[in-house]
Amino acid sequence: MIDLRSDTVTKPTQQMRQAAFEAEVGDDVYEEDPTVKRLEATAAEMLGKEAALFVTSGTQGNQIAVLTHCKPGDEILLEANAHLFLYEGASMSALAGVQPRTILGNRGAMDPADVRAAIRPDDIHFPETGLICLENTHNKAGGAIVPLENMQQIYEIARENNIPVHLDGARLFNAAVASGISVRRFADQADTVQFCLSKGLGAPVGSVIAGSADFIRQARKWRKRLGGGLRQVGMIAAPGLIALTEMVDRLAEDHEQAKRLAEGLSQVNGIEIEGKVETNILLVNVGGLNQTSDEFLHHLKEQRVLAVPFGPETVRFVTNFDVSGEEIDEVIEKVHKLARNI
């Protein structure tokens, strides 16, 4: 199988497996795991934040951020297709008791004027705006890079109104590598940041949230409440450290592969590339083949290629380091053939 469903599907490298094997460990609930501490310090330093916390997943990181920033009855402003809104099982409502208020953006970027207009005035009838969430790169917008200036403008509005900003940076390193802007500069436009070690960076497990020391102290308690206080967790933090130190620059290869795939698929009659390809995610519309995304994916699977539906006619391909250039060419050829035979 050529697996382009997500960049989450990659298997840990030999070096990561070795690091897990050799990891120095301790009980992390007592904050005694030296490997976790090293990972957290490295991540905080890279993002330019005071402190960081290793968490089990991107979803857990985002939810801990919501729980720590907000109180029940608050409202969160976020983009209409944000992962936090679409794909986290309404956990912000189920766990934190907050309601989302969505703003439709352009390639994942909310118009700062819309954000300003959506902030609630002080009125007994209204919820309080407790948090603004950004996402970079933006998954549903096809790995779009939200421009730094857009983030700066929104952060300024947030600060004027005393509202914290959380960045879902599950793929922030992709944004940094593709734009040449450091993760730290993106992270500067938010109070807290979540990024994933287990996506393009290839670690088997885990995400990190970063913010002020005080925020992380409270977040640690929320992680414990959620059952995320782990013990000799250096075993899984060690591959995460390799992800941060060895795997960042190679994300450029995934971006190249996504462009190569887009170029190849754009030559197929009946297939349209949706939007531009900036990082490792490619959205294609298969409506011109008179196929729904599910039907198309069924045929594709018979050809031993996997991708996921992202709308009635939209299919998402995500390049990742387990898929080679030759395999990308193979996928292009298979889709050509498939389109001819449908």
The residues binding ligand TLP (CB under 6 A) are 6, 8, 57-59, 62, 83, 87, 135, 139, 168, 170, 196, 207
- Which residue in the block uniquely carries the two structure tokens 């070690």? 197
| SS3 category, 257 | helix
Choice between 135 and 313, CB closer to ligand TLP: 135
The C-alpha atoms of residue 144 and residue 136 are separated, in whole angstroms, by 7
Least distance to ligand TLP, CB of residue 7, Å? 7
| SS3 category, 190 | coil
> DSSP letters along 93-122, please?
HHHH--EEEEE--BTTBPPHHHHHHHSPPS
Contacts of 101 (CB under 8 A, 6+ apart): 75, 76, 77, 78, 118, 129
| SS3 category, 281 | strand
Count the neighbouring beta carbons within 10 Å of the beta carbon of residue 264.
Answer: 17
Choice between 87 and 126, CB closer to ligand TLP: 87
Tell me which DSSP letter residue 147 carries.
P
Tell me which DSSP letter residue 322 carries.
T
Least distance to ligand TLP, CB of residue 270, Å? 26
Least distance to ligand TLP, CB of residue 175, Å? 11
User: Measured at CB, which residue is nearest to ligand TLP?
Assistant: 58
Choice between 60 and 338, CB closer to ligand TLP: 60
Least distance to ligand TLP, CB of residue 261, Å? 17
Least distance to ligand TLP, CB of residue 341, Å? 29
Choice between 207 and 293, CB closer to ligand TLP: 207
Listed in order, strand segments (DSSP E) in the chain are 2-3, 51-55, 75-79, 99-103, 129-135, 165-168, 192-196, 207-211, 272-273, 281-285, 305-306, 308-309, 314-318
Choice between 57 and 289, CB closer to ligand TLP: 57
Choice between 271 and 281, CB closer to ligand TLP: 281
Choice between 5 and 101, CB closer to ligand TLP: 5
Choice between 9 and 29, CB closer to ligand TLP: 9
Least distance to ligand TLP, CB of residue 136, Å? 9
Amino acid at 197: L
Identify whether the C-beta of residue 315 lies closer than 8 Å to the C-beta of residue 309: yes
Least distance to ligand TLP, CB of residue 19, Å? 20
Least distance to ligand TLP, CB of residue 183, Å? 15
| CA dist 9 → 19, 209, 212, 321 (Å) | 20, 22, 32, 10
